[in-house]
Amino acid sequence: MLRTMGLTILGLSLAALAFGQVLSDEPEPAPKRVVVVPIEGEINGITARAVKQRIERAQNEGVDVVVIRLDTTGGLLMPALKISETIKSAENIHTLAYVDKTAYSAGALIALACNEIIIRDRGEIGDCAPIIMQGELKGTEREKAESPVRAEFRDSARRNGYNKLLAQSMVSMDISVYKIQHVQTGEIRYVNKRDVRLLSDYDPRVEELGKVLPTEGKKLQGRQWKYLKTVVNSKQLLTMTETEAKEYGFAKAIVKSEQEAQAYLGVSTWETWRWDWGELVVGFLNSMAMTGLLTGVGLLALYVALNTPGFGVPEVVALVCFATVFGSKHMAGIAEWWTMALFVVGVMLLLVEVLVLPGFGVAGVAGIICVVVGMLAMVMPKDPGKFPFPRTDVAWDMFLHYVISLTIGFFAFIVGVIILVKYLPRIPKVGRLVLAAAPAATGEDAPRPPDLAPGVEVGQVGVALGPLHPAGQVRMGQTTVDVVTEGELIDAGTQIEVVRREGNRIVVRSKV
């Protein structure tokens, strides 16, 4: 009996060892590959292009998690919407928004597009109402601007399990949100003004109207929900601290360091795909200040080039400036090739008008039109199947922003021309860049034309060889001289008298 039990135990032990060996032979799961794509500062077309390239690279390289690290106060709406679309369309990749410091406005839109959000201690997120530089959006204009943004927030909330009402309250100020709790189950809900009145004993009109209502203090029968707090009223936009973001269900975790963020993902390290130097340079050149500066310098160099012979430094400077303006916009996905071609055609027409054709006519006018249209068209919105023209207040705001920068550049050009004309010719060596008018010769330095009627003096008398109407020829002694009258008509054979000489111009009249 004991022998049988011993053999049984031995068999079980061997079986366990064999099973353990089989398990140990199973391959360990591959570690997750996590990459970080930082979004810092202003969100613009360069940002959208950089994020798209990195998401596509992550898909091609089989990355498991893409972390969008956010530290931004916002930026342009259209690039932010493109980034949101890129994130949502990423396949086989888990996206996580890591709010490092702030994710306001366009940053909040991007954060909600990700599969989940974590936020750093003392971080904030929210406030995504569309704004314009030229004033305040009101009425229908505000609704037109807010509607697509609210739709994007609703879509993100549906995809990632956020409360739609809270999400939309980051965009529109007319949305009030209240937190209530079920008396028996403890369930938490976030409701609007109507539902908080119907479900709970709280009436928001008490605070809004500032007066006592008949139902105040009277808990109605059958109300199963308890009012907890007003999350945001109709005069506010939802902006959340880190604790509020977690309380309201947006943030999955609050971290105090990058190491804690890595630990949340179950990795000890991650890769950061920072912007390369080319993207940084293009972003800098795309700024409004640089657009205005390059435009002004380019126009000034073009002016100098048209006023100096040959091909030299001014032509090179103009070429570099305008190539940089259009090239940076094209790399940012803003300017298209035809806008650059139109600008080049305009410059060529101006050159033909100045260097070949006399006066200023059709070629010059057409050249100016092509240059202006080419400069303005490079910042027009690109809607597939539609004529490139701003149709929304936000698009108009972006367009006017660029127009302002181009206008500043044009005024800088005017000031530069005045300085060139007035001061540059006086500077040694540098003054040779501008063709200045030759000073008028005076005194003995003035060149003297040859005397074509030597010996002819005022008061001298001669005979008209032919009619003087009013110019003609007369004979004075043995010399034939070209003369002109003061306006009178003199017949041939009439005796004339010289009244004055103006160089080689001899004025005569009939001698009566």
Cα–Cα nearest to 124, from 206, 2, 245? 245
Q: Which two tokens stand for residue 111?
A: 């954060």
Q: In what order do the strands lie in the sheet with 177-182?
A: 188-191, 177-182, 225-232
Q: What does the pLDDT read at residue 265?
A: 92
Mean of the pLDDT values across residues 410-416? Answer: 79
Give percent above pLDDT 70 in the chain. 70
On the CB side of 436, CA atoms within 13 Å amount to 15
In tens, the pLDDT along 242-300 reads 999 999 999 999 999 999 999 999 998 899 988 777 777 777 777 767 777 888 888 88
In tens, the pLDDT along 167-218 reads 999 988 888 899 999 988 989 999 998 888 888 878 777 665 555 455 544 5
Domains of the chain: 34-161+240-272 (3.90.226.10), 176-233 (no CATH), 277-336+378-433 (no CATH), 453-510 (2.40.50.140)
3-state DSSP of 28-97: CCCCCCEEEEEEECCECHHHHHHHHHHHHHHHHCCCCEEEEEEEECCECHHHHHHHHHHHHCCCCCEEEE
pTM value surpassing 0.85? no
Between CA 75 and CA 484 the distance in angstroms is 77
Question: CA 196: distance to chain centroid?
Answer: 43
Q: Which two tokens stand for residue 354?
A: 């100045």
14 pLDDT higher than 50: yes
Q: What does the pLDDT read at residue 274?
A: 86
In tens, the pLDDT along 109-146 reads 999 999 999 999 989 998 876 654 444 555 555 566 67
Structural contact between residues 483 and 508, judged by C-beta atoms closer than 8 angstroms: yes
In tens, the pLDDT along 66-114 reads 999 999 888 777 788 889 999 999 888 999 999 998 998 889 999 999 9
Structural contact between residues 302 and 333, judged by C-beta atoms closer than 8 angstroms: no
Q: What does the pLDDT read at residue 374?
A: 79
Between CA 161 and CA 177 the distance in angstroms is 17
- Alpha carbon distances (Å) from 236 to 46, 167, 398, 400: 31, 13, 25, 28
Between CA 384 and CA 215 the distance in angstroms is 56
DSSP state of 16: H
Mean pLDDT for the chain overall: 77
424 pLDDT higher than 50: yes
